[in-house]
Chain A
Amino acid sequence: MTGVFRKLYFFLIGLFLALPMIVVAGVSVNEKQTLAFPPKGFSLSWYGEIFLNPEWRNALFASVTLAVLSAGLAVVIALPLSWFLWRRVAPWANIFQLIGVAPFTLPPVITALGLLTFWATTGFYGQPWTAVISHAIFFVTLPLVTLSLGFTAIDRSLVEAAATMGADDRTIFRTVVLPLILPYIVSGYAFAFVLSLNEYIVAYMTVGFTMETLPIKIFNALRYGYTPTMASVTILFVATAAIIFSLVARFGDLPKLLGAMSSDDK
C-alpha cells in the first residue's frame, strides 16, 4: 500500500517537473508557425532554424563562446584559491572563499546591478569581454565548492610521501595533486558551463544592448511575438544540461559532489 503511494508521489513530482518540457517539446514540432498543443502536423524544421537562421545562430554562438570562456576563467580563479586554502594555514584567506560564494547566495539581480554600475562607471559597458568576466565571477562559486570538496578528499599521506622523496611543491602539484583533483575541476567547469549557457540577468545587464545570448534572444522574441524556435531552443538547452550532468555522473561521483558521503566510506 505504501509502495503504491510512494510510486504515485514520485510519479506526480516527475510529472510536475516534466510537464512544461513535454508541452514545449510538443509545440516545437508544430508544422506551421503556431503555438499549438497537441502539435498540428510534425516538423523538425524549428530545430534546423536554430542553426540556419543567422540571428539564432549568432545567439547560439555567442552563448557557447561565453559559457566556454567564463567557465574556464571561473576555474582559473577557483583553482589557485582552493589549493592555497588546502596547502596553507591562513584563516584570514577564507574571506576570499566567502567572497567567492557571495554572488551565488545573494539574489542574482544584485550581482547583475553591481556589475552594470561598475562597467558603466569604468566605461567598458557593452564590450563582449565584460560578460565573460561577469559570468566568471558570478559562477566562481561552483568550481570553488567542487574543488574544496576535492581537496578535502585527498589523502595527505600521499603528498607527504612525495615530499619525503624530495619533490617540491610544483612537482607535487603536477604529479600527485592535479591527477587527484582533475575530476573535480571537470565537474566544476561543467556546472559553471551549463549555468552560464542559461544565465539571463547578468548577461542582459552587462551586454544586453550590444549582443544577444540565447536566453536574451528568447526573452526579446517573447516580447515581440512568438516563434516555435523558442521551443526548440528550450528543448536543446534541457537536452544539453541533461547530457552534461549525466556525463558528470558517469565519470564522477554525483551524490558525493552534491554533498552526500562517498559510497565506499560509512
Chain B
Amino acid sequence: MRREAPQKIGDYAPLFFPATMLIVFFVVPFATMIAVSFFQRQQAGFYVPAFVLSNYERFISWFFANVLGFSLMLAVVVAICCVVLALPFTYLLTRMQRKVQIVWLVALLSVLSLSEVIIGFAWSTLFSRTAGITNLLVMAGILSEAKALLPSFGAVLTGMVYQAFPYTVLVLYPALVRLDPTLTEAARTLGASPVKAFFTVVVPALRNTITATLIMVFIFALGSYLLPQLLGRPQHWTLSVLITDQAIYQSNMPFAAAMAVFLVLVTLGLVALTVIAGRKGEAA
C-alpha cells in the first residue's frame, strides 16, 4: 500500500486525539506561561492579568547577569567534559561485541533514567564526611581524616557530568556505529597507531557530530534544576534552579515565567545552531 494523501475528512480521524492532547496540554500551557510572564504580581503569591514588562526588566541586574553567566559557563564545562570522556568511550564501545555493547547500554540507560533527586542524594552521600569516599581514602592510609567535599563547585560539576555522561554516549552512539570502519583500517594499514588513527581520522570525520553533541549536552546541562542546589552553594545556582525557586518557594510566578521564556529563547537559538551545523555536515 503506497502512502497517499488523505482523501476524505474521515482519513484525518486518527490525528484527532493526539493533536487535541498535544495542543491542549502542551501548546496551550506554553502560551499560558508566556502570558503569565507579562502579568502583574500581587501580594501573597497571586497575580492578575496585565501587560507589564517589569518581570523582564528584572533581568537587567548584576545578580541576574551573574546567574546567567554562571549557568552558561557551567553548561559549557559540563558539555566539554562529557564529550571528551564519552567520545573515545563510545567509539571503542561500538567496536565491541554486540552482547558487551548491550550490557553497557542497559547500564547507561539505567543511570540516565535516574531522577536528579536520586543522583543528588547519591553524590551528596558519596561526598559527605560520614559516608563519603574520603572514608575509603582514610582506610587506604592516603588521608588522615575524613572530610566533606561539598558544597563545592567540584561537587556540582561531578554530579552534572555524571548525569549528562550517559546522555552524551547515547547521542554519539548512532553516528559512531555508522562510521565506516574501513576509514580507520586504511589509516592502520598505512602505519598509524590506533590512538593516532582516532585523532587524525575519526575525530575529523565526526567534526559536525561532535559540534551537534556539544550543543545538545549543553542544553541538557542547562536544564539541570536540582544538582546545583543539592551539591553547591547559593552562588552555584543556575537559571533552572532559580526558576524553580521563584515558582515554588517565592511564589513569584510571573518572574519565574519570564525567566522560563528567556531560557526557551536561549535553548531554541542553540537548537537552530545544531540544525545549521547538521545541514553543513550533510553538505560536506
Contact = CB atoms under 8 A, between A and B. Distances in A.
Interface of A: 2, 6, 9-10, 13-14, 16-17, 19-21, 23-24, 26-27, 34-38, 76-78, 80-81, 83-84, 86-90, 93, 96, 99-100, 102-103, 105-111, 113-118, 120-121, 133-134, 136-137, 140, 156, 159-160, 162-163, 172, 194-195, 198-201, 204-205, 208, 215-216, 218-219, 222, 230-231, 234, 237-238, 241-242, 245-246, 249, 254-255, 258-261, 263
Contacts of A246: 106
Interface residues of B, number: 90
Interface of B: 1-6, 11-12, 14-15, 17-19, 21-23, 25-30, 32-33, 36, 85, 88-89, 92, 94, 98, 101-102, 105-111, 113-126, 128, 130-133, 135, 162, 165-166, 170, 173-174, 177-178, 193-195, 219, 222-223, 225-226, 230, 240, 243-244, 247-248, 253, 256-257, 260, 263-264, 267, 271
Nearest to A3: B194
Contacts of A234: 118, 121-122
Given A37-B135, A259-B177, A249 B105 contact: yes
Contacts of B32: 114, 117-118, 121
Contact of A77 (B18, B114, B126, B240): B18
Contacts of A14: 107
Given A20-B119, A21-B122, A93-B15, A109 B177 contact: no
A198 B115 contact: yes
A109 B223 contact: yes
* Interface of A, helix, strand, loop or mixed by DSSP: helix
Given A81-B18, A84-B15, 6 more contacts: A13-B89, A17-B166, A117-B32, A118-B29, A156-B2, A258-B105
* Interface of B, helix, strand, loop or mixed by DSSP: helix
Given A195-B113, A230-B121, A260-B174, A113 B260 contact: yes
Given A195-B113, A260-B174, A118 B18 contact: no
Contacts of B131: 23, 26-27, 35-37
